[in-house]
Structure 1
Amino acid sequence: MFQNYIKIALRNLRQNKGFSFINIFGLSVGMAVAMLIGLWIYDELSFDTCHENYETLGQVMTTQTFNGETGTGQAVAIPLSEELKIKYPKDFRKVAMASWNFGHIIAYGENKFSKDGMWVQPELPEMLTLKMLKGNIKALSDPSSILLTESLSKILFGELDPMNKLVKLDNKTFFKVAGVYKDLPYNSEFHNSNFFIPWDKYLAEQQWVKNSQTEWNNHSFQLFVQLNRSDDFERITAKIKDVPMKHLNAATDGKEEILLHPMCEWHLRSEFKNGHISGGRIQFVWLFGIIGTFVLLLACINFMNLSTARSEKRAKEVGVRKAIGSERRQLINQFLSESLLVVFMAFVLAVILVQLSLPTFFNELADKKISIPFGNPVFWLICISFTLFTGLVSGSYPAFYLSSFEPVKVLKGTFRVGKYASLPRKILVVVQFTVSVTLIIGTIIVFKQIQYAKSRPVGYNREGMISINMNTPELYGHYDALRNDLIKTGAVENMAESSSPTTGVYSNQIGFDWKGKDPNAIPLFGIVSVSWDFGKTVHWKIKEGRDFSRDYGTDTLSLILNEAAIKLTGLKNPIGETIKWNDKKWKIIGIVKDLVMESPFRPIKPTVFLMNMEWVNIITVRLKPGLPVRESLAKIEPVFKRFNPGSPFDYNFVDEEYAKKFQSEERVGKLASVFAVLAILISCLGLFGLASFMAEQRTKEIGVRKVLGASVFNLWSLLSKDFIKLVVISILIAAPSAYFLLSNWLQNYEYRSEISWWVFLVSGAGAIFITLATVSYQAISAALANPVKSLRTE
């Protein structure tokens, strides 16, 4: 019996090649989108699960209140670690301090590379359950040891055994390779950590780090913990949250609390508000999950629409089958078998489409390294269930609808589908275009928000600038000589050094006092130490006062404030005013227009610029305009090699670093636009099929109208107006829905664009145009047909 079902199904597919193509291709695109989104969601949800202690690992976060605003961040003070170890030993299985994932120069012989790595206490590798290929996971208890990833080991040593070999870090310290561990997967927060080096060595080499061991207000480090049980996070957070305030003065240091952030929430729930988790990438998981469901639903709607639209064509077949004894159950099985066959073909095509798009398109767009897990039985179980579900959902309505026809009426020719028979198809078309128009509006708003932030005045000229990290001691103490040699190349306009790049503020400080300051206020300022030529190099704009200058010996005790800092101080005539900080009196000599150094979607941070050459660690070079960039870089590289011979010439373009601030939003926008295009494609395929069927169904009517004098335009409008009505209804539903959803999304950005009326107009007009373009081919073809042939078909 089943074999007969398949034969009949294949025969029907061959007899209706156009409809078969639309069904199979439309379904395959919908299933491919759902599969891609499913793999993306799985990758997001499985972030950091490569660590065996995933459920009990966490990071200590700090919540501070300054300038009336509460913020939560990862930076903590070193003494907090010892406090937790000593006073709460039963609550923590392990506690480990760590630095940030810094860039370092690592070398073995002539092989020199710039790689990111971390200073960590010996417990962290065990907490992360690194998969050791060679050596001992506990090796960092020896301050002279280093643990490398497998990939870094290969590029440093090739086929040589790396164990016990000496590598040189930042041209000053040798470390013995004591272990090699398997590279962490791309969906791990520690994926970019290419090596781990001992914390004790960090304390010995860096005096400021050593001094920080007793400084409770120096938040410059990370702290990771492992609990005994996964459900202990809230209980222990409540127990330890006030630990910092036992060592801080609320009047001078502000209010501070700590909390434990579980590893299982690092990636998806990383945004905080008032000291509590408020969201994060989990919103994108829900968003794309809903989009994937709707895109697949659109493909299923096409199948149902086209199947029910052709029901009259198969009505006699149903009548004959019932007349010779077929039961309704058998007819339902027949039509469901046809549906499942189509879905199976679509699934095979969908797998091919996914396999082709993952490495060449989707992974690059989504910044992922996803592959189809062909060897995973769970994957195949999900796929089979997914295919059966889609087949049953897609084929259920036509199966039950067609099998309900009365054989007597069908065979006597008195069967009529009724005036409401097309109502379900109309509703489904409205649903299709509601989803499509909503996606179009959403995509436009996302890109509009990105452009709005990109067009924000940044306060400096980022074109033609490169930044170089001062990773090695050779680059320190030669400012004037390095600057003069670079300018002599003819490729450099200017050079400066600073403690932060123009695309970030690395230090925030409190403890400032000035005339008229509220004694109860504890303002927080960003601090950037710069050289004399910083302003001339970045082309910042002096609003009042003057820039730093070699002509003034007192500039080492002078400050330049941005507009946000002046607003925070409330000073009416700030030039010449004195600010007390770090037991010194500083004179305000200038005000610069706000520089967008951090998020372009957030308000500008109050920032103070001062001169302290002991703090600088970033070199900023402005290339001379008019010269090819490659030629300029070729001229300045030998200069850096001369001053820093043991390191590769690594640099970053400032405009590219600034562009990275938009990556997350741009990625969402591009993915949403791709899904919107595919949703429209699937909807148009369905419209094309329905228009084709309607034109075929109304062949005689069109012939009679042409004989009576109807023009091609009259016939085109006759066949098109029903579809236009449905699309207009979709627009009326989609517009307020999209406005509500996107208004909520824009609330996440303090610096945001408005939702303009023209977005809805353009989206609606675009949907109508696409509908007309899709329907017009069939409508005009039918209108141009010879009426004689149409009327002879009786």
Structure 2
Amino acid sequence: MLKNYIKIAWRNLIKHKTFSVINISGLAIGMSVCFIILLYVQNELSYDRFNKNADSIVRVAFQAEINGGKIFETNVMPPVASALKNDYAEVQDATRLQIAGIRKVTYKEKSFKDDQLAFVDANFFNIFTLPFIAGDGKTALLEPNTVVVTKALAQKYFGNENPIGKTLTLPNDNAQFKVTGIIDKVPVNAHFHFDMFASMGSLPSAKSDSWMASNFFTYLLLKPGYDYKKLESKLPSMVRKYMGPQIQQSMGISLEQFITKGNKMGFVLQPLTSIHLHSHANYELDVPGNAMYVYVFGVIAVFILLIACINFINLSTASATKRAKEVGVRKVIGSGRTQLIKQFLVESALLVFIALIISFILIQLTLPVFNSISDKNLNFGFNIKIIASFIGLGILVSVAAGIYPAFFLASFKPITVLKGQLKSSNKAFGVRSGLVVFQFFISVGLIIGTVVVQQQMQYIQNKNLGYDKEQILSIPNSYALRENEQVFKTDMLRDPRIISATVSSYKPAGPSSGSNALSFLEGHENQIMKTQEYHVDEEYIPTFGMKMASGRNFSTAFTTDSTAMIINETAAKAYGWNNLTAVGKTIIRQNSDRGDNVPYHVIGVVKDFNFQSLHEPITSLLMTLHPDQGLIFKVKTADIQGLLSTMKKQWSEFNTDEPFTYTFMDDLYNKTYAAEQKTGAVLNIFAVFTILVACLGLFGLITYTAEQRTKEIGIRKVLGASATQVVQMLSKDFVKLVLVACVFAFPSSYWIMGKWLQSFAFRINISWWMFVGAGLSALLIALITVSFQAFKAALANPVKSLRTE
């Protein structure tokens, strides 16, 4: 019986070539896009789940609000881990990590500087599942100055030598580390990525008992099944026990007095598996994802698959009259309703199977392109789970697309169809119309979404940031020059292609030094405010093209500028001043590099500039004349390559043993929004494919409509109707459906994209033209799709069509 079903299904597929091609193409594209999106979503949701105890691991974060200044940081104080482990029985273990960044590493005569180093506690590998190839994770880092490296790094550094026991030197740190273990690699779907893990016992700061400085990432292993919220509710007692005395000593007030002034301070716990998508704290170890994008793409995957299934349902039910007599004859000769349903389900399964094969090929061809655009490493290999999921998707589509047409076709009454009395049902037409509206509702929504994302990205590119990001060249590793840093700067300033230069490791975009400052107004010790602080020289503000709102810039002509301070406009407001009255005031820096409670006099107010992501509002900023190592140049663009060549040659004369590296500020700025740009590009692709699948369905429907109305079209042309009038007649119903789709798509898109824009502190307004443009685009796409087949029908010879009928 099954063989017979398949044979009949194949004959019908060949007989109705146009509809078969449309159905197969739509299903293949729909399933391909859907599966790629599902791979992307699965990858985003899988972060950190490779850890054996993933569901029992949490990260400790610090959260505070001090005089209106909000703090949410992923790194906490050195003693937090030991305090939690010792005081709370539900904490089975606690471990810490501190970023060391990229360090120069030497082995024998070879030097390397492109690998990430982190210091971790000895029990780090007991909590995180990073399998060892050599060495023992439980003992590898028990001794100071020991290090565990990845397999790739070991191969690069040591070649075919056995790495265990070898010594790596960090010359800039005057330290040596013995290799005691090798791990395979840190998985791609982890929220941190390091190439070397050194013993925390090598760091004197790791033994600090200070609860006032935050620089350690702290993780807890809780009892299996324990609700971390219960532990989180107990953390205020830890703050009172350990932080309270140090606040009393540092600020001269008790923790209770500090809190009664409206301040807040405490710790929160973040489940390990939620860090990648749901953490919005400062100082993340890697670029986080965005849960909203995952939800949106997941919905798009479902919708594009629905649209492909809707096409199948529409075309199957629309062409029902062609199969009506077949159904009538089969019923007359004894076929039951169940047999007919099985027959039509087999037909849909055959179409889906063919589409599945094409989809498999399309995924193999397009996945590398998608990986390149999305910066992912998705794999569609011959993995049992992936193949099973893919086949499962095919079965789901087969049932979803075929079940309604099968029941619909099997419901025809043989007497009615054999007498030729079967007419198109208004109910069936209404269902098809509703499905077309749904298709274009999604399509219009995606067009609006892509337009809003593109406009926001364009706004980010063109926004006045308060500083000039163009023609700014940074040399981040100029510390390698040591005492020759100023010499290099002076030499380069003689080059006419250099406009100005400044020494600072603080940049308003990209990787930058960060310094939290605690300060208060003179005579108001109890009103401490948390701000950011930049260490700069007198050329910093002019090099970046920043503007002074009042007062003056730093100057070497004033010896008192060593304790001078420039603040931004937001800081002036936070202190209760305006731009003019701020000049001359005194700010006490509590934890300054020059000591505690050091008075600084304000000499100027710089106009606000964006020194954080545009997702964040501009916050208070202090600037002090205390330049760190790091060279930044304002350059002319006429001969960039020639200038870089000169700089590299000059650099090599100082024999730093480090390569000349540089970055441009506009590139660093763009990288800050790389995730949004990639998301926008991916959204564009999905929108195009969604519209394409919708148009395939529309093309099929207009083809069917034209065939059904062949006689009517012939009569109209004989009576004098022009081709344009015939096209208008065939197109108007579909145009109405697109307009109805717009009515539903506009408000929902406005709400969804409004929510997305709320993640930016600086954002565009959603304008009316975006909706009009999206609606007209959808209308134009629909008209082009419909008009092609409509003109073909309108230009047909009416004599031939009437004779045929």
User: What TM-score do you get using the length of structure 2 for normalisation?
Assistant: 0.92
Letter in 2 for 1:314: R
Greater mean deviation of Cα atoms: 483-492 or 104-113: 483-492
Structure 1: distance between partners of 2:662 and 2:166: 29
Hey, what does 2:142 align to over in structure 1?
Answer: 141
Structure 2: distance between partners of 1:185 and 1:72: 27
Hey, what does 1:570 align to over in structure 2?
Answer: 576
Pair 241,653 (structure 1): closer, same or farther in 2 beyond 3 Å: farther
Hey, what does 1:180 align to over in structure 2?
Answer: 182
Hey, what does 1:460 align to over in structure 2?
Answer: 467
C-alpha displacement of 1:152: 1.3
Pair 346,534 (structure 1): closer, same or farther in 2 beyond 3 Å: same
Determine if the alignment matches structure 1 residue 700 to structure 2 residue 711.
yes
Structure 2: distance between partners of 1:236 and 1:617: 42
Greater mean deviation of Cα atoms: 256-265 or 499-508: 499-508
Pair 536,669 (structure 1): closer, same or farther in 2 beyond 3 Å: same
Structure 2: distance between partners of 1:387 and 1:148: 43
Of residues 687, 691, 712, the one that matches 2:702 is 691
> Where do 5+ consecutive residues of structure 2 fail to align?
248-254, 283-287, 590-595
C-alpha displacement of 1:29: 0.8
Structure 2: distance between partners of 1:101 and 1:311: 69
Deviation by residue 1:369-397 (Cα, 9 ceiling, x = unmatched): 11014222x33333232211211110112
C-alpha displacement of 1:70: 4.1
Other structure's SS at 2:50 match: coil
Structure 1: distance between partners of 2:637 and 2:389: 57
Determine if the alignment matches structure 1 residue 718 to structure 2 residue 725.
no
Other structure's SS at 1:52 match: coil
C-alpha displacement of 1:499: 4.0
Of residues 313, 316, 320, the one that matches 1:311 is 320
Letter in 1 for 2:104: I
User: What TM-score do you get using the length of structure 1 for normalisation?
Assistant: 0.93
Structure 2: distance between partners of 1:730 and 1:679: 15
C-alpha displacement of 1:198: 1.8
Of residues 620, 623, 632, the one that matches 1:606 is 620
Structure 1: distance between partners of 2:530 and 2:464: 24
C-alpha displacement of 1:280: 7.2
Hey, what does 2:164 align to over in structure 1?
Answer: 163
Contact preservation (8 Å) 2:518, 2:530: yes
Structure 2: distance between partners of 1:580 and 1:373: 61
Structure 1: distance between partners of 2:258 and 2:119: 31
C-alpha displacement of 1:557: 1.0
Determine if the alignment matches structure 1 residue 266 to structure 2 residue 267.
no
Determine if the alignment matches structure 1 residue 623 to structure 2 residue 635.
yes
Greater mean deviation of Cα atoms: 600-609 or 739-748: 739-748
Other structure's SS at 1:428 match: helix
Of residues 749, 754, 772, the one that matches 1:743 is 754
Letter in 2 for 1:213: S
Hey, what does 2:290 align to over in structure 1?
Answer: 281
Hey, what does 2:252 align to over in structure 1?
Answer: none
Hey, what does 1:257 align to over in structure 2?
Answer: 266
What is the identity percentage for the equivalent residue pairs of Structure 1 and Structure 2? 37
Pair 577,479 (structure 1): closer, same or farther in 2 beyond 3 Å: farther
Other structure's SS at 1:259 match: strand
Of residues 230, 235, 238, the one that matches 1:235 is 230
Pair 457,101 (structure 1): closer, same or farther in 2 beyond 3 Å: farther
Contact preservation (8 Å) 1:24, 1:343: yes
C-alpha displacement of 1:159: 2.3
Hey, what does 1:130 align to over in structure 2?
Answer: 130
Hey, what does 1:57 align to over in structure 2?
Answer: 57
> Where do 5+ consecutive residues of structure 1 fail to align?
204-208, 274-278
Of residues 294, 308, 326, the one that matches 2:303 is 294
Deviation by residue 1:722-779 (Cα, 9 ceiling, x = unmatched): 0001111111111111122222333333322212111111111111111111100111
C-alpha displacement of 1:31: 0.6
Structure 2: distance between partners of 1:139 and 1:418: 76
Contact preservation (8 Å) 2:133, 2:183: yes
Greater mean deviation of Cα atoms: 486-495 or 444-453: 486-495
Pair 349,132 (structure 1): closer, same or farther in 2 beyond 3 Å: same
Greater mean deviation of Cα atoms: 295-304 or 456-465: 456-465
Matches within 5 A, 1:312-331: 312-331=321-340
Structure 2: distance between partners of 1:641 and 1:50: 45
Pair 124,642 (structure 1): closer, same or farther in 2 beyond 3 Å: farther
Letter in 2 for 1:620: I
Structure 2: distance between partners of 1:295 and 1:735: 19
Determine if the alignment matches structure 1 residue 216 to structure 2 residue 228.
no
Other structure's SS at 1:511 match: strand
Deviation by residue 1:549-582 (Cα, 9 ceiling, x = unmatched): 2222222111111121112122232222222223
Of residues 394, 411, 414, the one that matches 1:404 is 411
Contact preservation (8 Å) 2:521, 2:527: no
Other structure's SS at 1:267 match: helix
Q: Give RMSD over aligned pairs.
A: 2.2
Determine if the alignment matches structure 1 residue 766 to structure 2 residue 766.
no
Pair 34,705 (structure 1): closer, same or farther in 2 beyond 3 Å: same
Structure 2: distance between partners of 1:498 and 1:230: 48
Structure 2: distance between partners of 1:366 and 1:184: 20
Structure 1: distance between partners of 2:399 and 2:81: 57
C-alpha displacement of 1:366: 2.2
Determine if the alignment matches structure 1 residue 106 to structure 2 residue 124.
no
Hey, what does 2:662 align to over in structure 1?
Answer: 651
Hey, what does 2:790 align to over in structure 1?
Answer: 779
Other structure's SS at 1:55 match: helix
Letter in 2 for 1:295: I
Contact preservation (8 Å) 1:306, 1:689: yes
C-alpha displacement of 1:64: 0.5
Contact preservation (8 Å) 1:59, 1:263: yes
Hey, what does 1:276 align to over in structure 2?
Answer: none
Pair 214,612 (structure 1): closer, same or farther in 2 beyond 3 Å: farther
Hey, what does 1:424 align to over in structure 2?
Answer: 431
